Structure 1
Amino acid sequence: MLVVEDDPTINQALADRLTAEGFGVVRAFDGPGALAAYHEHQPDLVVLDVMLPGFDGLEVCRRIQDQRPVPVLMLTAKVDETDVLVGLGVGADDYLTKPFRMREVVARVRALLRRVDRAAELAAARQPALTVGDLVLDRAARRVQLAGVEVHLTPLEFDLVAVLAEQPGTVHSREALMTEVWGWTDARGTRTLDSHVKSLRAKIGAARVRTVHGVGYALEA
């Protein structure tokens, strides 16, 4: 696992806690150092601060996702939704706003790794494609086409739309989606799902993902 944070105290605290939880950790403190560590160690997951010297975490995320997709947990002091959506747009899977609790970092890391394992199992099972109107999801190849044109989705966006596409028109509760896609048993107070839905709507069309206020979401043809 790669931890990228320019504050030495936070960087060390993250590394210590994740190491204590049984993860192998390498550290970096700026954009160029993050890319160098990524290429050298090929981590399974990256915990990545947004504000970094050299170049920022968004650019780091974009570059590593272009080369080898890997789960990225963004750490950000910015709470504006636009900033979060930019992060998701360059390939981040999840985000935490500062200040954060170390146990929440560990929970998010474990959930992301569980999702990766589950995605690999589903791909190995060679599940048939899902078709909802002119939206086609190839679950084995993890590719999406909209009206015959390929759409680039992040890994979590793909998992989210795949769960919705298994039962088109059916409303999935927020709790069920967070459990199925993120592996969380308690998602109270988080805006992660809402941010991913907004990003997904921007890519496949806002009308395709219906909101049922107070309940959850459904995928429409």
Structure 2
Amino acid sequence: MNQMIGLVEDDPNIRDIVKAYLEKEGYQVLAVDTAEKAWDIFQEKKPDIWVLDIMLPGMDGYEFCKKIRQTSEVPIIIISAKDEEVDKILGLELGGDDYLTKPFSPRELVARTKRHLKRWEAMRPNAEEEQETIKVGALELNESERQAYFNGKEVEVTTKEFEMLKILASQENRAFSREELLIKVWGEDYYGSDRAVDDLIKRLRKKMKELPIETVWGHGYRLREKRS
């Protein structure tokens, strides 16, 4: 089955060119001109990756990116005419995985799309793998099913949230630096700052209020195994 790409771009010329290049590579492309239409696609079709313009009529790309990140870690490539460093940092910190400044090479966009899709597929569970369970205190992770349980109750987590839990739980009591966690969860070629780690930890603490993730000041985080 062909992988599906959600494309949000209000310039018809850019939209048609990008769509043609991606379809030539065998991808199914759902192209729309507003974030409102894209939100319907996100809920109904579940594309494997998004190519997202920032400057859109109505809801802008930043807001759309934030809405996606409330429930999903699907890759997002931002394309924008805004080339200031502050714009790139904002886009990445709101959840974008990559940032391309217009004008850009369609071939470069295709190459980056392939790279992010490859990483995304590697993060998904493999049904043929033997089930593995990781337990640390009240936290239990079912790796093959990508399910997290805390105090016996299942907690809905995104792919990156699960990866973070798995890393911390696999070596409980070990202090991981922010940079190390950023590379392990987002990959070596992620362009954002380590604030993404802080944001993800904040989300996990909100979902599991008694989860013993400790801040190691000036360094990073560790999952402390509470002993009775």
Using the size of structure 1 for normalisation, the TM-score is: 0.66
Structure having the larger proportion of residues in helix: 1
Compared CA separation, residues 160 and 171, structure 1 to 2 (3 A) = same
Q: Which has the larger radius of gyration?
A: 2
Compared CA separation, residues 2 and 187, structure 1 to 2 (3 A) = closer
- Does structure 1 retain, via aligned residues, the 8 Å contact 2:148–2:156? yes
Q: Which residue of 1 aligns with 2:83?
A: none
Q: Which residue of 2 aligns with 1:90?
A: none
Q: Which residue of 1 aligns with 2:180?
A: 176
Whole-Å separation in 2 of the counterparts to 1:107 and 1:170: 36
- Say whether residues 1:149 and 2:150 are aligned partners: no
TM-superposed deviation, 1:151: 0.9
TM-superposed deviation, 1:157: 0.7
Write out aligned runs for 1:90-169 (5 A).
94-95=95-96, 112-120=116-124, 124-169=128-173
Task: Give 3-state SS (helix, strand or coil) of 1:184's partner.
Answer: coil
Whole-Å separation in 1 of the counterparts to 2:38 and 2:142: 32
Which of 210, 216, 220 pairs up with 1:216? 220
Whole-Å separation in 2 of the counterparts to 1:40 and 1:98: 26
Number of equivalences:
206
Identity of aligned residues (%): 28
Whole-Å separation in 1 of the counterparts to 2:114 and 2:101: 16
Q: Which residue of 2 aligns with 1:71?
A: 74
Using the size of structure 2 for normalisation, the TM-score is: 0.64
Compared CA separation, residues 185 and 215, structure 1 to 2 (3 A) = farther
Compared CA separation, residues 41 and 161, structure 1 to 2 (3 A) = closer
What residue identity is the alignment partner of 1:160? Answer: M
CA-atom RMSD in angstroms: 4.5
TM-superposed deviation, 1:117: 2.2
Q: Which residue of 2 aligns with 1:87?
A: none
Whole-Å separation in 1 of the counterparts to 2:201 and 2:192: 17
Moved more, 132-141 or 54-63: 54-63
Whole-Å separation in 2 of the counterparts to 1:126 and 1:137: 14
Q: Which ranges in structure 2 are unaligned for 5 or more consecutive residues? A: 81-86
Whole-Å separation in 2 of the counterparts to 1:10 and 1:194: 39
